Amino acid sequence: MDNNNHNINHIGTIKNSWNEWSETWYPKYRTTEVISKIIQNPLTAFHPTAYAMIRKVLPNLQGARICVPSSGDNHAVFAFHLLGAKVTSCDISENQLANSARIAREQGWDIEFVCDDTMQLNKVKSGEFDFVFTSNGVHVWINDLHAMYHTIHRILNNGGSYMMFDIHPFLRPFGIQAAAQIKVVNPYDATGPFGEVPTYKWRIQDLINAMIASGLNVKQLEEMFAEDGTFWVDESKDEEIGMSRQQLDQLCNWRSNPLAALPQWLAVVAVKNCTQGD
């Protein structure tokens, strides 16, 4: 099998899986309670440090044209809209988009939803956006970082900014599981694919070099810690149910959970220089 067919099969598997998950374990991310929390305070959709980075490059969100590729639960999309931006949400899963579009209709929100592959975004015009944002859980589904970042560079206008917020790569060799003792699951340079539904564990150099190769100019990098212990539980398995606040807080204590000593989040801001073309 050649690489193109291999990639197409991977993309199809991921797309089908997310269409299924959107109807099974993912509904809890779009409950009335969850959406009401975002409506009451849109900033809850972002890590505080990440939001500070966003406001540094976009001091005024009112009317800003923002694209969120691999939008997933669309929490960031909803928040950007509520903060005054004109938002386009892109995702490979029709069901994820349909469920989020339904919420937007119910709330009377004017948000554009586009079903497209983040590595291509063929339905999105070049030079269209002031800001592109990818949030937690995007890069594990991307098999070609260079294609993704060249696409992001293409859809940004000159002087536009991109920001990624995702799991810190330093955690991935350990499986991101809270435990009294650290156990290596995979070496840092094993990037995948892993599993029947293929995922990728990119290193910092893979992410940054792909941004640089696309023509983006890296401006800021921040490493940060989780806001609370829910970071360390597998929400897809409802592990947090029945855990007390004290138990969750203890997961952030590196003495009982050594992995908590490592940064859990990585955020990077990059800019498309005004002198660059598409």
Domains of the chain: 1-225+263-272 (3.40.50.150)
- Nearest CA to 195 out of 13, 18, 8, 3 is that of 13
Q: What is the pLDDT along the chain (278 residues), one digit of tens a residue?
A: 444 545 657 889 999 999 999 999 889 999 999 999 999 999 999 999 999 999 999 999 999 999 999 999 999 999 999 999 999 999 999 999 999 999 999 999 999 999 999 999 999 999 999 999 999 999 999 999 999 999 999 999 999 999 999 999 999 999 888 888 899 999 999 999 999 999 999 999 999 999 999 999 999 999 999 999 999 987 766 666 678 888 899 999 999 999 999 999 999 999 998 764 44
d(CA 208, CA 149): 10
Model pLDDT, residue 276:
47
Model pLDDT, residue 80:
99
d(CA 135, CA 149): 14
H or E element: which one contains 49?
helix 48-57
Model pLDDT, residue 4:
54
Q: In what order do the strands lie in the sheet with 65-68?
A: 112-115, 86-91, 65-68, 129-134, 156-167, 265-272, 216-224
Query: From start to end of the chain, where are the E strands?
Result: 65-68, 86-91, 112-115, 129-134, 156-167, 216-224, 265-272
d(CA 213, CA 208): 9
d(CA 199, CA 14): 9
3-state helix, strand, coil in the chain (%, to 5): 40, 20, 40
Q: What are phi and psi of 13, to 5 degrees?
A: -65, -45
Model pLDDT, residue 110:
98
d(CA 253, CA 247): 10
Nearest 5°: the CA angle 66, 46, 186 is 105
Q: Is 225 helix (H, G, I), strand (E, B) or coil?
A: coil
User: Bridge-partner residues for 86, per DSSP?
Assistant: 65
Residue with tokens 């004109």: 86
Model pLDDT, residue 1:
42
Model pLDDT, residue 2:
47
Query: What is the Cβ-side half-sphere exposure of residue 197, based on CA atoms within 13 angstroms?
Result: 11
DSSP state of 124: S
Model pLDDT, residue 7:
61
Nearest 5°: the CA angle 191, 192, 198 is 140
Q: Are 64 and 131 a contacting pair, CB within 8 Å?
A: yes
Model pLDDT, residue 237:
67
DSSP string for residues in 203-269: -HHHHHHHHHHHTEEEEEEEEE--SSGGGGS-GGGTTTTT--HHHHHHTT-TTTSGGGGS--EEEEE
d(CA 18, CA 33): 23
